[in-house]
Homo-oligomer: A and B are copies of this chain.
Amino acid sequence: MEQILAKWESLAASSGALRFLDINLRSIGQVMFQNNPLTGILFLAAIAWGSYAAGAPRVAIAGVVAVVVANLVAELLHVETESLHAGLYGFNGILVGLALATFLAPGALLWVYVMLGAAVSVVVMLGTTNVVKPWGGALTFPFVITTWLLLLATYGFSGLAGTALPTGNVVTAFQPYQGSPLQLIELTQGVFLSISQVFLKASSVAALLLLVGLAVSSLASAAFALGGAILAVLTAHLFGAESDLITGGLLGFSPVLTAIALGTVFYQPSWRVVVYTALATVFTVIVQAALNVALTPFAIPALTAPFVLVTWLFLLPRQRLEGAPAVARDNERPAAVA
């Protein structure tokens, strides 16, 4: 593995086209914090499979278009080379592309929107990084804020209609449902879909590809992703969330990202960090439920905002956890192949 990556790195260094390909693959890997082109290939396969299985191949295409546009804009804006090569200016772009193509109807304007959103995500990435540098990275905040604004605007534009957006409504008290208690098989499905929903996919095959993609880069990341998904599903079940949300992975994808981020990227592992990460993961489930409710009147999805909010909150007091050096900076400007 190491040898293959080293060979690839020397190839990429010798060709502008291969370097650009490398940047885009790493961008896809960075959605789950992996600065690794092989991970990017496996993630891309997961996206492609998930889109194909859902009968919407345009979603995968929009993701690819968006990540390419984002990295081109980043080059035009003369962003720092090291961060660019690590894929840090593309991972928000691909998520913008996937989300817009998932939630909006197909059409010429969709592609204008995808490219515009990808370009803006780079500007927001630059800005957010400047603001949050003292305590961590921008995470997927650029994706969330850009996509929210673009989706909200479609309610005022006849050229861009939503297909999968929730219906706007005011908040209502929880309606008790006919509780058919969840079986283990359903909970297991919820765990896997919690992982694939990070890329807005409901597919166990995609989830397995994502786990493999994580494992080839970092076993710890794969373990925290799986552990985070299990903890999230159990927490949602304990508090009595709706079955469909649990089994569809819709309360688990943000906690998965929180678990990877706090458990492996920003803090060095220790039992204190594991407990701290577990608390943050449980709280992310609550914040996911809370934002689902809070965004009801606006008829937009929460996306990964719960992950961003909770991870920022739990990163801010980082210096209080023993053995937590400034790892975040390494993640923001990785020096070479991870």
A242 interface neighbour in B119, B156, B177, Cβ under 8 Å: B156
Instruction: Tell yes or no: A72 within 8 A of B by CB.
Output: no
- Chain B residues closer than 8 Å to A171, beta-carbon distance: 152, 155, 168, 297-299
A289 near B239: Cβ-Cβ < 8 Å: no
The docked-state distance in angstroms from the alpha carbon of A161 to that of B297 is 20
Task: State how many angstroms separate the Cβ of A287 from the closest Cβ of chain B.
Answer: 5
Can you give 14 contacting A-B residue pairs, CB < 8 Å?
Answer: A120-B283, A123-B280, A127-B316, A130-B135, A153-B286, A153-B290, A156-B241, A160-B240, A162-B173, A167-B173, A168-B171, A169-B170, A173-B299, A297-B297
B155 near A293: Cβ-Cβ < 8 Å: yes
Contact A153 to B123, CB < 8 A, known contacts A299-B171, A321-B77: no
- Chain B residues closer than 8 Å to A242, beta-carbon distance: 156
Contact A153 to B289, CB < 8 A, known contacts A116-B282, A283-B116, A316-B127: yes
Q: Which residue of B lies closest to A150 (CB)?
A: B286
The total of chain A residues at the interface (CB under 8 A) is 73
A157 near B240: Cβ-Cβ < 8 Å: yes
The docked-state distance in angstroms from the alpha carbon of A239 to that of B155 is 11
A316 near B126: Cβ-Cβ < 8 Å: yes
Instruction: Tell yes or no: A254 within 8 A of B by CB.
Output: no
Contact A157 to B289, CB < 8 A, known contacts A119-B279, A313-B127: yes
Interface centre among A240, A286, A292 (most CB of B within 10 A): A286
Instruction: Tell yes or no: A294 within 8 A of B by CB.
Output: yes
A residues neighboring B (CB under 8 Å) = 77-79, 109, 116, 119-120, 123-124, 126-128, 130-131, 134-135, 148-162, 165, 167-174, 176-177, 179, 238-242, 245, 279-280, 282-283, 286-287, 289-294, 297-299, 312-317, 320-322
A173 near B161: Cβ-Cβ < 8 Å: yes
- Chain B residues closer than 8 Å to A321, beta-carbon distance: 77-78
A176 near B153: Cβ-Cβ < 8 Å: no
- Chain B residues closer than 8 Å to A155, beta-carbon distance: 171-174, 289, 293
A152 near B293: Cβ-Cβ < 8 Å: yes
With A127-B315, A155-B172 already in contact, 14 other A-B pairs whose C-beta atoms are closer than 8 Å: A78-B321, A79-B320, A123-B314, A127-B314, A128-B316, A149-B286, A149-B290, A154-B174, A155-B173, A156-B245, A156-B290, A158-B174, A158-B240, A161-B174
Closest 4 CB pairs of A and B: A127-B316, A126-B317, A159-B240, A168-B171
A241 near B293: Cβ-Cβ < 8 Å: no
- Chain B residues closer than 8 Å to A320, beta-carbon distance: 77-79, 126
A287 interface neighbour in B123, B153, B322, Cβ under 8 Å: B153
- Chain B residues closer than 8 Å to A170, beta-carbon distance: 168-170, 297, 299
- Chain B residues closer than 8 Å to A131, beta-carbon distance: 316
The docked-state distance in angstroms from the alpha carbon of A238 to that of B314 is 43
Q: Which residue of B lies closest to A134 (CB)?
A: B130
The docked-state distance in angstroms from the alpha carbon of A313 to that of B119 is 13
Interface centre among A120, A151, A156 (most CB of B within 10 A): A156
